Amino acid sequence: MATAHYADQAWHGAVTVAENVAVARDTYRVRFACPEIARRVTPGQFVMLRLAQCNDPLLGRPLAVYDVTPDEAGRPYFVDVVYLVVGKMTRLLTEFFAGSRLEVWGPLGNGFPPTPAEHLVMVAGGIGQTPFLSLAREYLGQRTYGDPPRQVPRAHRVTLCYGAKNAEYLAGVEDFRKAGVTIQLSTDDGSLGHHGLVTELIEPVVERSAWPCRIVCCGPEPMLQATAAVAERLGLPCLVSLESPMACGLGVCFSCVKKIRDREGNWDYRRTCVEGPVFRAEDVEF
Ligand SMILES: Cc1cc2nc3c(=O)[nH]c(=O)nc-3n(C[C@H](O)[C@H](O)[C@H](O)COP(=O)(O)OP(=O)(O)OC[C@H]3O[C@@H](n4cnc5c(N)ncnc54)[C@H](O)[C@@H]3O)c2cc1C
């Protein structure tokens, strides 16, 4: 698999924050000006983000590109990232208001391939919905991404199955609704949608579907594993996007490796940053 090109083509530089707003509990959307990344990114790719002039934390953090916002002339200009506050960097990031500087490199990773899908079923857990807004817009024919813009055959339907701890943590549901995505929600405490696991939503969606389904999934590993098992039982193709912690994002440090099986059933370590983060579910050794 050719991998080097993802990192080789990454842009690296300082960017200016345009806005940084709360979108759900402990969850923010930061928008920064970066036409170099906005023009080239495709759904499922990510950026490494580092707080400029800050040595603690020293390392950047991987964050999926949520979407691209155009300038007044309609050209891809801003990059949007949605992040959940879990630790040092994400906590400090909430204080980077408009005008602050960030260090960024990307776009990185393989992202989702433009495989035709009649009904795309996106399964997200926790903050795992972030790679899916741009993917949905692409499959619904609203936007193109990449340079040159890649063409994706239009899907009949795109469904988001999205689960979180409770209703306060569900972020960006309105963005998906506005994009024309069919939404199925679940919460662990039953405060909104199905009371239970997001993976329990998949089978009814597939059973009721008038079209063949393809599944894409992002979230915590136990959820990815459960989704992979459902997909296997239903005989459906499934891609998972891994959220392995990583240090460089460029394929150098090997801190993000994951056991991935080859076609003969043997496994080897693959780097989530340059050989992923998107893998075929059946290839991942959970
Ligand atoms: C390709 C990719 C895309 C991602 N996209 C997003 C996104 O769009 N939005 C978002 O909020 N997060 C995303 N993440 C996860 C994000 O990178 C981490 O939450 C972030 O690095 C935490 O940094 P921190 O300094 O705030 O926390 P730290 O201080 O580094 O860690 C705080 C706590 O979180 C745990 N932790 C750190 N990273 C992870 C992780 N990846 N998974 C599980 N636990 C972790 C640590 O073990 C620790 O307990 C993505 C990860 C990857 C690999």
Ligand 1 centroid – CA 245 distance (Å)? 6
Domain extents in the chain: 4-108, 119-283
Q: Is 130 in the pocket of ligand 1 (CB under 6 A)?
A: yes
Range 119-283 has CATH code 3.40.50.80: yes
For residue range 8-37, list pLDDT tens digits in order: 889 999 999 999 999 999 999 999 999 999
Ligand 1: which atom is nearest the Cα of residue 89? Answer: 25
Bridge-based pairing state of the strands 27-33 and 11-24: antiparallel
Q: Is the CB of 133 under 6 A from ligand 1?
A: no
Predicted confidence at residue 218, as pLDDT, reads 98
Q: What is the pLDDT of residue 51?
A: 93
What separation in Å is there between the alpha carbon of 249 and the centre of ligand 1? 13
State if residue 245 touches ligand 1 by the CB under 6 angstroms criterion: yes
State the pLDDT at residue 256.
94
Pocket test of ligand 1: the residue of 169, 240, 243 to mutate, having most ligand atoms within 8 Å of its CB, is: 243
Low-confidence ranges of the chain (pLDDT < 70): 1-6
The predicted pLDDT at position 4 comes to: 47
Q: Residue holding tokens 């059973």?
A: 207
If one residue of 31, 86, 254 were mutated to test the ligand 1 pocket, choosing by the most ligand atoms within 8 A of its CB, it would be 86
CATH 3.90.1150.10 holds for 4-108:
no
What is the model's pLDDT at position 52? 84
Look at residue 5 in the predicted model and tell me its pLDDT: 55
- Going by CA atoms, what residue is nearest to atom 36 of ligand 1? 245
- pLDDT per residue as tens digits for the range 68-101: 999 999 999 999 999 999 999 999 999 999 999 9
The predicted pLDDT at position 1 comes to 45
- Name which residue sits closest to atom 52 of ligand 1, judged by CA: 243
Q: Is the CB of 246 under 6 A from ligand 1?
A: yes
How far away, in angstroms, is 61 Cα from ligand 1 center?
Answer: 7
Nearest to residue 131, comparing CAs of 248, 233, 27, 46?
Answer: 46
Residue 31 tokens read as: 């928008």
The answer to pTM > 0.85 is yes
Out of 63, 79, 246, give the residue to mutate to test ligand 1, the one with the largest number of ligand atoms within 8 Å of its CB. Answer: 63
Within the chain, strands assigned E span 11-24, 27-33, 46-51, 61-64, 67-70, 76-84, 101-108, 119-125, 157-164, 182-187, 194-195, 213-218, 238-241, 257-261, 267-271, 278-280
